[in-house]
Amino acid sequence: VLPRGTRWRWPVAALAAMVLATAAAPATAQQESGAAFPSGTWAGSATYLGALDTGSVSAFADSVINFRMLVSSGQVASGTIAMIGSSHSVALEGGSADIAFAADGTLSGPATRVLITAEAVFSGIARVEGYEVPIDISMPFGGSFSPSWATCTEVGGDLATEGRDIAAAQGLQLDAEAIFLAMRVSDAGAEDPDHYIPKDYADLVDDLIAAQSGDVPTSDLVDLIRRVEELNAQIIGAAACGETPAGFEEGLVKDDFFLQQLKAIYDKILKSPGDYSTHEQIFLLMSAVRVGVIGASAPDQGFSDSALLLFEAALSDALAATPDGEQKTIVDIYIAAKQVGLTDLAAAAEARLG
């Protein structure tokens, strides 16, 4: 049987813990500002100060948060976070609690909203009417944080932004702030060779060459084109911060050797486009425009023009093979044709829809 009054232990302790826990809000509640961590290795820290007053219980907390992570292609490739803090709470009717908090976890997710997965330990003592009750709780701890601003070398924001909103939604007045500042300590490849552009480039070229001969599953070729897009995006991301490795300044298709290999893959795809679904064909066409192998600024205009015509013919066949009942697919072909400027295909699709 608990001593009389220990019912106060939990409100006092819970509020002490809550003030600490709002240092990073649940991922589902976090709002994105649009700012993102650029590629590279980032080291950041924040000092959290929070105060909560319910009228019957007051709690104060502080903690120090440190994190380090590798960002590549808009994603957190790896990262760790450590949070250490303490909290003191006092109940108006008597009683108090002192809680220490420690959490270690990993970081993941998009560079616009970094997700925290951690294990937290709350330990301390609650005092109620002369009794001391130990507190020792270990639990999973999740959260997220988003940058509110970002440059190529520094990123900042407030870890407690959403915590304040969550507390307010529960009718609690939380006064908290955890301004973080992160510095880029190295580029994306310095600490993780697996995400270094030249290595990715070499791997991709090897695979493009290997896929040019023999029977290669269509899904493998589609995946290969996806990898080309991903690497191109990685290069563009690096270029945004002026850190494009030498030789990559003008993008993948400006590299003549790479372009030759990519064209050979597109030639292979366009020899039997009927092996691909309609949406795969649209993806392959749009991807070619996105990467720059097709389009007004493509290095090889002859290839660009002929590939565009072949895609138009392939999608015309796909359109002819699409049953009338699959209206959505016909609309998809029509819109893609309109967007890219394939007028004959658009007219054929329009006729089917009309």
b/e code 238-250 from CB counts within 10 Å (16+ = b): beebebbbeebee
| Stretch binding other proteins (CB under 8 A), from 14-22, 58-66, 119-127, 330-338 | 330-338
How far apart are alpha carbons 341 and 335 in whole angstroms?
10
Q: Pick the binder of other proteins from 242, 302, 323, 325 (CB under 8 A).
A: 242
Tokens read off for 71: 């960002």
For residue 226, state whether it binds other proteins (rule: CB under 8 A): no
Told to check if 309 binds other proteins by CB under 8 A, we report no
Instruction: List strand residue ranges (DSSP E) for 73-172, in order.
Output: 75-91, 96-108, 114-128, 131-145, 149-150, 154-158
Nearer to other proteins, 8 or 283 (CB): 283
CB atoms within 10 A of CB 98: 17
**What is the smallest separation between the CB atom of 267 and other proteins, expressed in angstroms?**
19
Main-chain dihedrals φ then ψ at residue 135, nearest 5 degrees = -125, 125
Which one of 31, 138, 212, 339 is in contact with other proteins (CB under 8 A)?
A: 339
Residue 105 sits in the site that holds other proteins (CB under 8 A): no
Quote the CA–CA distance of 234 and 54 in Å, as a whole number. Answer: 48
From 55, 323, 325, 354, residue interacting with other proteins (rule: CB under 8 A): 354
Instruction: Work out whether 247 is an interface residue with other proteins (CB under 8 A).
Output: no
When asked if residue 40 is in the footprint of other proteins (CB under 8 A), the reply is no
Q: Is 315 left (phi over 0), alpha (psi -120 to 50) or beta?
A: alpha
**SS3 letters for 160-172?**
CHHHHHHHHHCCC
DSSP tally for the chain: helices H, then strands E: 9, 10
The answer to whether 12 and 54 are in contact (CB under 8 A) is: no
313 near other proteins, rule: CB under 8 A: no
Q: Is 1 in the site for other proteins (CB under 8 A)?
A: no
H helix or E strand, kind and range, residue 177 = strand 173-177
Closer residue to other proteins in complex, CB, 106/112:
112
The stretch near other proteins (CB under 8 A) out of 3-11, 51-59, 170-178, 292-300 is 292-300
Eight-state DSSP code of residue 130: T
Single out the residue of 203, 223, 250, 275 in contact with other proteins (rule: CB under 8 A). Answer: 250
**φ/ψ (deg, to 5) at 286:** -65, -35
Q: Does 240 bind other proteins (CB under 8 A)?
A: yes
Residue 325 binding other proteins, by CB under 8 A = no
Decide: is 251 part of the binding site for other proteins (CB under 8 A): yes
Site for other proteins contains 295 (CB under 8 A): yes
Determine if 113 is a binding residue for other proteins (CB under 8 A): no
Give least dist CB 163 to other proteins, A. Answer: 25
User: Is residue 163 near other proteins by the rule CB under 8 A?
Assistant: no
Which residues of the shown chain bind other proteins in the complex (CB under 8 A)? 34, 233, 236, 239-240, 242, 249-251, 254, 279, 282-283, 286, 289-290, 292, 294-297, 308, 328-329, 331-332, 334-335, 338-341, 343, 346, 350, 353-354
